[in-house]
Amino acid sequence: MPVKQFADTSSVSIAYAIDSAATASELSATEFKYVPFTTEGFSLAKESQQSTAITSDRRPSGSKNTQGSASGSVGTEFGYAPFVLDMLKLAVMNEWTEDLTAADGSFYATDGDTRQFFVVEKRIKGQKAGVKTNFFERYFGNLVNEATIEIGGSDLVSFTVNTMAAFGDTASADASTDADAGGLVTTYTKPESYEIADASNNVSKITIKDSAGNPLEVVWSDATLTITNNVREQGGVGHEFAAGMTMGKVNASLSGTIYYYDDSVLNAHLKNEAVSAELEISTSEGVFIIHLPKLKAESPSANAQGENQDYTQSLTLNAERGTVNLDGADQDCVVALVHRPAA
């Protein structure tokens, strides 16, 4: 018997297209984009239900896998790249709009209610009976449930997207003569190279301002921005997976650790005062600016944990409805994203 060849993580690829197809037969996209991912967590599963019938011998009489679920996650290194631009607009459920009042070619997107679905194809290159084979997991009707930007002191900036899907299936094909055999489309676009943002050189600022617009003396050790859509599957009779997909309220938060300088953040919390935040990340390809116009501090805490250590404060700021001036007008939003390509 020949030595078996098991798959390596480099055998896995993730590709996507913005498309509202619920099944492979409904797909209208003709091109998929590969994701330059660092981690992924896509999975198909069915809920196991065990019979509760009473038996005289105490032994379970059977079980069945019932309703299916399809969900996933993908992590990347943050930068001014097409995947990041796509996923950010999907995360706020809106389109990028050109700011006609800006002379720098800026585009913006605020949190909205436009459900933009996309399709994900996970491919594993493997061997089946000694033949090169493509194994696929396909996820249809994906919505971004949560998007997270993590910024560590000396780390690369990471970007993670969690998704929920309406339907999923599997497929396989002989790839001995065609590397893309069995794929949903015939055209797959490889990601272009881009500068990966890091916390030291590319994060221009994370500014917190009080209710009067005055910057607070805040220096972050690490920070995490999270946008959540509270997506849920809507199960239905006669549907193997979800009958529909919907979302709830949008939530956004900025959390992390700050070096203790004064009691301004704690006082804002105790007095129930709102603050605002602005985050800017610049790379050679372009700039992102993220506005959180109204935030409330959630129980900031600082404690001395031992000798010869920094005295830091744990901080979580939760976003509420505020206004940001975009395209010459104040616009209601919880979070506003702005990007502009490098000149």
Distance in angstroms (rounded) separating the CA atoms of residues 279 and 294: 14
Half-sphere exposure of residue 133, counting CA atoms within 13 Å on the CB side?
Answer: 14
Tell me if 137 sits within 8 A of 119, measured CB to CB.
no
pLDDT at residue 328, as a whole number: 94
How is residue 173 written in tokens? 């094909």
Tell me if 81 sits within 8 A of 213, measured CB to CB.
no
Q: Tens digit of pLDDT per residue, the chain (343 long)? A: 677 778 899 999 999 999 999 999 999 999 999 999 999 999 999 888 898 899 889 888 889 888 888 999 999 999 999 999 999 999 999 999 999 999 899 999 999 999 899 999 999 999 888 899 999 999 999 999 999 999 987 889 999 999 999 999 999 999 999 999 999 999 999 999 999 999 999 998 899 999 899 999 899 999 999 999 999 988 889 888 898 999 999 999 999 999 988 888 888 888 889 999 999 999 999 999 999 999 999 878 888 888 888 888 899 999 999 999 999 999 999 999 999 999 8
Distance in angstroms (rounded) separating the CA atoms of residues 260 and 295: 19
Distance in angstroms (rounded) separating the CA atoms of residues 86 and 71: 18
Residues 6+ apart with CB under 8 A from 212: none
Q: In this structure, what DSSP letter does residue 226 have?
A: E
Q: How wide is the angle at C-alpha 323 spanned by C-alphas 321 and 324, nearest 5°?
A: 135
Tell me if 187 sits within 8 A of 31, measured CB to CB.
yes
User: Rg of the chain's alpha carbons, rounded to an integer?
Assistant: 23
Distance in angstroms (rounded) separating the CA atoms of residues 78 and 151: 10
pLDDT at residue 187, as a whole number: 96
Query: b vs e for 288-327, b when ≥16 Cβ sit within 10 Å of the residue's Cβ?
Result: bbbbbbbbebeebebeeeeeeeeebbebbbbbeebebebe
Q: Which of 22, 24, 70 is nearest to 47 (CA)?
A: 70
Distance in angstroms (rounded) separating the CA atoms of residues 280 and 38: 23
Distance in angstroms (rounded) separating the CA atoms of residues 62 and 64: 7
How is residue 96 written in tokens? 């990028």
Residues 6+ apart with CB under 8 A from 122: 12, 13, 14, 40, 42, 72, 136, 137, 138, 139
pLDDT at residue 48, as a whole number: 87
Distance in angstroms (rounded) separating the CA atoms of residues 71 and 45: 9
Distance in angstroms (rounded) separating the CA atoms of residues 118 and 28: 11
pLDDT at residue 141, as a whole number: 95
